[in-house]
């Protein structure tokens, strides 16, 4: 089964909001200019207009596995990243040094890329992009655990994306446990560089981000995709695609009602059991 891109997004700049500028978010931001340039080369009218949103400031721990320097400690992550990108690429992208909330305006956003590290934050995104007042076309969500993770491209149910059997299901619909705030850990950042690396191995974020960006590139280049996400296992060197398939979606939702995952990154083996019946 194939998902087809709306022609509307081919004839004007695509408005993207990246929520979260930590591990996954900073990796996404590093790759988005390449996607922007590729779209222009493909003949897209305007490429991408990007806004980065994050209320956090750079900490010493961030300098271990995120692209920040000690000279940037104490500065807003979103401002640091957008300034760097604009200077290097000659762009005019925007930064909002605030956390995403129920009041965040997404009225003029086509794609929300969620790179958040808590279920509560993911739930806030889900609530803003869903419903009759929202016109967001896509929600691309990235999540990870210590040695892998997943990304899911979905079409939130709203006035732009009507109810249908073929609408791409979002991460919140397929894995409702990922927006259940009561399952969050304490949410406190790692207190040391060693602890940060213990919680998450190097290169997890760029691997997931690059695969997610490649999915967007395929969608805009060819106008259609047969997979709308994937499960990444760096320890085993494996990637399991998430098929555009209503039968798979139904199986994942049934599994979610029976069991709740303890971490934000999902288990690839669980997905394969669903996909294979």
CATH number assigned to the domain comprising residue 30: 3.40.50.720
Domain span holding position 225: 3-275
- The string of DSSP codes covering the chain is --EE--GGGGSS-EEEEEE--SHHHHHHHHHHHHHHHHHHHHT-SS-EEEEEE---B--TTHHHHSS--GGGTTSBHHHHHHHHHHHHHT---EEE-S---TT---TT-SEEEE--SSHHHHHHHHHHHSBTT----EEEEEEE-SSEEEEEEE--SBSSS---TTSPPPHHHH-GGGG-GGG----PPPSSHHHHHHHS-TTHHHHHHHHHHHHHHHHHHHSEESEEEEEEETTTTEEEEEES-HHHHHHHHHHHHH---SSSSPPHHHHHHHHT-
CA dihedral (28, 89, 62, 232) in degrees, to 10, reads 20
135-138 contact pairs (CB < 8 A, 24+)? 135/107, 135/159, 135/160, 136/106, 136/109, 136/110, 136/111, 136/112, 136/160, 137/6, 137/9, 137/110, 137/111, 137/161, 138/110, 138/111, 138/112, 138/168
Which has the closest alpha carbon to 152: 44, 45, 248, 32? 248
The residue assigned the tokens 């990922």 is 178
CA separation, residue 200 to residues 23, 114, 195, 203 (Å): 10, 19, 9, 9
CA 9 to CA 220: how far, in whole Å? 9
Total domains in the chain come to 1
Place of tokens 């980065």: 52
- Measured CA to CA, the distance from residue 274 to residue 116 in angstroms comes to 26
pTM score? 0.88
pLDDT tens, N- to C-terminus, the chain (277 residues): 999 998 899 999 999 999 999 999 999 999 999 999 999 999 998 999 999 999 999 999 999 889 999 999 999 999 999 999 999 999 999 999 999 999 999 999 999 999 998 999 999 999 999 998 899 999 999 999 888 999 999 999 999 998 888 999 999 999 998 998 766 664 444 444 445 555 677 789 999 999 999 999 999 999 999 999 999 999 999 999 999 999 999 888 777 665 544 334 444 444 444 444 4
């Amino acid at each position: 089964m194939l998902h087809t891109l709306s022609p509307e997004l081919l004839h004007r700049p695509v408005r993207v909001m990246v929520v979260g500028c930590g591990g996954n978010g900073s990796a996404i931001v590093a790759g988005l200019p390449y996607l922007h340039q590729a779209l222009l080369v493909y003949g897209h009218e305007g490429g991408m207009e990007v806004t980065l949103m994050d209320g956090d400031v750079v900490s010493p721990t961030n300098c271990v596995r995120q692209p920040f320097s000690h000279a940037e400690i104490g500065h807003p992550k979103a401002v640091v990243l957008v300034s760097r990108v604009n200077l290097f690429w000659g762009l005019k992208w925007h930064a909002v040094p605030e956390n995403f909330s129920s009041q965040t305006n997404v009225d003029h956003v086509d794609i929300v890329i969620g790179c958040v590290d808590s279920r509560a934050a993911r739930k806030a995104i889900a609530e803003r992009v869903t419903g009759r007042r929202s016109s967001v076309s896509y929600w691309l969500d990235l999540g990870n655990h210590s040695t892998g993770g997943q990304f899911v491209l979905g079409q939130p149910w709203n006035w732009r994306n009507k109810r249908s059997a073929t609408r791409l299901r979002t991460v919140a619909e397929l894995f409702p446990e990922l927006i259940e705030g009561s399952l969050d850990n304490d949410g406190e950042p790692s207190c040391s560089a060693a602890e940060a690396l213990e919680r998450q191995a190097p290169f997890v974020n760029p691997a997931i981000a690059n695969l997610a960006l490649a999915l967007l590139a395929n969608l805009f280049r060819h106008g259609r995709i047969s997979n709308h996400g994937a499960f990444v296992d760096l320890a085993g060197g494996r990637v399991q695609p998430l098929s555009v398939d209503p039968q798979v979606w139904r199986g994942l939702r049934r599994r979610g009602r029976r069991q709740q995952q303890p971490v934000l990154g999902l288990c690839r083996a669980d997905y394969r059991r669903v996909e294979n019946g």
